[in-house]
Amino acid sequence: MSLQEDDQEWMLAELARNAKKNKPHKRWLFLGGIMFTFIIALLGYGIADLPGFNRVGQLACAILIAVVYRQIAGYPEPLREGIHFSAKKLLRYAIVLFGLKLNIAIILHQGLGLLVRGVGTIAFSMIVTVLIAKWLKADKGLSFLLGVGTGVCGAAAIAAVSPIVKAKEEDTAIGAGIIALMGTVFAIGYTLLRPILHLTALQYGIWSGVSLHEIAQVALAAAPAGQNALAIALLGKLGRVFLLVPLSFILVGWMKWRGKVEHSDAKIEFPWFLLGFIAMSFVGSYVIGKMIILSPATMNAISVVTTFVLTMAMVGLGLNVSLKDLRSRAARPLLAMTITSVLLSFLTFLTV
């Protein structure tokens, strides 16, 4: 064996030993990255309990903490793999768990009329937001995500369609934060307007459920009007959540068609997590309560875990946000989304 070959074997053996030695270290850094998103999500929950912040919600608070941390301390590079896991994998797990909140049986038996309204809400929100954004010369990708979030179910919808349309992680985080914040502003506005509007509890519930952004915001706006208003509002909102599945598959087809038209070699990853979402929806609709009895406390705990996992994922995305880019890119999409939301609220009000 030549001296050169001997040196090469020694180098390969040394690299193998170093890789084996560094494996536990990498594993701890990976877990550290996940724990980092867990801690910031926990801080978001704590701040969301404070007066004033409780109206904003834990999701927006956690994203804000992540964005501020990034601007002050920079991205925690050694923890990147764990943070990336939270942003990618935990995001999909949260969407799957989110399916438990959707009772398909109730929607199909009682909410078909509201389902039709939901189709109109989604189509209006997406088309109008994109058109206004084009007129304002706003960022197309972020504006599209905001249109989806406005029409369907806020941050969860943005999280679900982002991998399908190959959105930037930064845009996903910014979009989720804007939806959480602005949706809360609209929900509070609804509660302030309710006493002066000549709407029955049923009409007010439909108005809230068909036009507001997220489930929590619908509950916030509808609860003061009574149980009947809250029930019909949540039914209207869940109909829009149900429509997230067909919308996602439509977007998959659209992205594949656009790739062919543009002769793109980029492949569209099939959103397998949506099959999990559908499966969990069937479990929540036809198994839990019939074959498996879970207490309200258990179901509430599952809901809290789902929201927390989604918050951890959004923290991972929020750490990618540059405040400089946020100022330059988010203002016009925010304006487009706000105009769309005002128009949606007004038109829905006229038709209830």
- What would the DSSP string read from start to end of 119-188? HHHHHHHHHHHHHHHHHHT--HHHHHHHHHHHHTTTHHHHHHHTTTTT--HHHHHHHHHHHHHHHHHHHH
pLDDT of residue 155: 82
Phi, psi of 292 (to 5 degrees): -125, 125
Indicate the angle between helix axes 272-282 and 91-98, nearest 10 degrees.
30
> What range defines the domain where residue 199 resides?
87-351
Cα distances (angstroms) measured from residue 306 to each of 66, 94, 207, 297, 309: 19, 5, 27, 14, 5
Please answer whether residues 98 and 306 qualify as being in contact, where contact means their C-beta atoms are separated by less than 8 angstroms. Answer: yes
Tokens for 279? 């499966």
C-alpha–C-alpha distance, residues 306 and 300, integer Å: 10
pLDDT of residue 164: 87
Please answer whether residues 347 and 120 qualify as being in contact, where contact means their C-beta atoms are separated by less than 8 angstroms. Answer: no
C-alpha–C-alpha distance, residues 284 and 105, integer Å: 10
Q: What is the amino acid identity at position 286?
A: Y
pLDDT of residue 217: 82
In a domain, 171, yes or no: yes
Listed as ranges, residues in the chain with pLDDT below 50 are 1-3, 15, 19, 261, 263-266
Tokens for 259? 């790739």
Please answer whether residues 83 and 32 qualify as being in contact, where contact means their C-beta atoms are separated by less than 8 angstroms. Answer: no
C-alpha–C-alpha distance, residues 317 and 37, integer Å: 10
In a domain, 249, yes or no: yes
In a domain, 152, yes or no: yes
Tokens for 105? 């049986």
Q: Which residues pair with 278 in a beta bridge?
A: none
Using DSSP, state whether 262 is helix, strand or coil: coil
In a domain, 116, yes or no: yes
Tokens for 199? 């709407």
pLDDT of residue 19: 46
Please answer whether residues 213 and 186 qualify as being in contact, where contact means their C-beta atoms are separated by less than 8 angstroms. Answer: yes
> Which residue is associated with the tokens 């002066």?
196
Q: Give CA 103 to chain center in angstroms.
A: 19
> Which residue is associated with the tokens 């793999």?
81
C-alpha–C-alpha distance, residues 9 and 3, integer Å: 10
Phi, psi of 288 (to 5 degrees): -70, 125
In a domain, 3, yes or no: no
Please write the tens of the pLDDT for every residue from 249-281: 899 888 888 765 454 444 556 667 778 888 888
pTM of the model: 0.76
The full DSSP string for 34-84 is HHHHHHHHHHHHHHHTSTTGGGT-HHHHHHHHHHHHHHHH---GGGHHHHH
Tokens for 333? 């999409």
Using DSSP, state whether 288 is helix, strand or coil: strand
Nearest CA to 176 among 270, 311, 271, 43?
311
C-alpha–C-alpha distance, residues 317 and 168, integer Å: 9
In a domain, 18, yes or no: no
What end-to-end distance do the CA atoms of the chain give, in Å?
A: 87
Number of domains in the chain: 1
pLDDT of residue 3: 43
In a domain, 192, yes or no: yes
